[in-house]
A and B are shown apart, each in its own frame.
Chain A
Amino acid sequence: MAALINVPAKARRGDIIELRTLTSHIMETGFRHTADGKLVPRDIITSFICRYNGAEIFRADLFPAIAANPYLSFFTVARESGTFEFEWVGDNGYSSTASAVITVE
Chain B
Amino acid sequence: MSTTRRHFLRLTGGITAAGTIPIVTLRPLEATPTMLNTAIRDVVGEAQVHTGRVKLDIPPLVENGNTVPITVSVASPMTATDYVKSIHVFNEKNPQPNIGNFHLGPSSGRARVSTRIRLADTQKVVAIARLSDDTFWQVAADVVVTLAACTEEMN
Contact = CB atoms under 8 A, between A and B. Distances in A.
B118 interface: yes
A1 to B, nearest CB: 17
Interface in A32-63: 32-35, 37, 40, 52, 57-63
Contacts of A40: 21, 23
A79 to B, nearest CB: 7
Interface string A59-98: 1111111111011111111010000000000000000000
Interface of B: 16, 21-26, 29, 66-68, 71, 91, 94-96, 98-105, 107-119
A65 B94 contact: yes
A89 to B, nearest CB: 14
A77 B25 CA distance: 44
10 contacts: A16-B109, A34-B24, A58-B102, A58-B104, A59-B102, A63-B96, A65-B117, A67-B116, A70-B115, A75-B109
A103 interface: no
A17 B94 CA distance: 33
Contacts of B71: 73
Interface of A: 16-17, 29, 31-35, 37, 40, 52, 57-68, 70-77, 79
Contact of B25 (A17, A32, A67): A32
A71 B95 contact: no
Contact of B91 (A37, A60, A65, A73): A65
B151 to A, nearest CB: 14
A64 B31 CA distance: 13
B107 A79 contact: yes
Contact of B99 (A65, A71, A77): A65
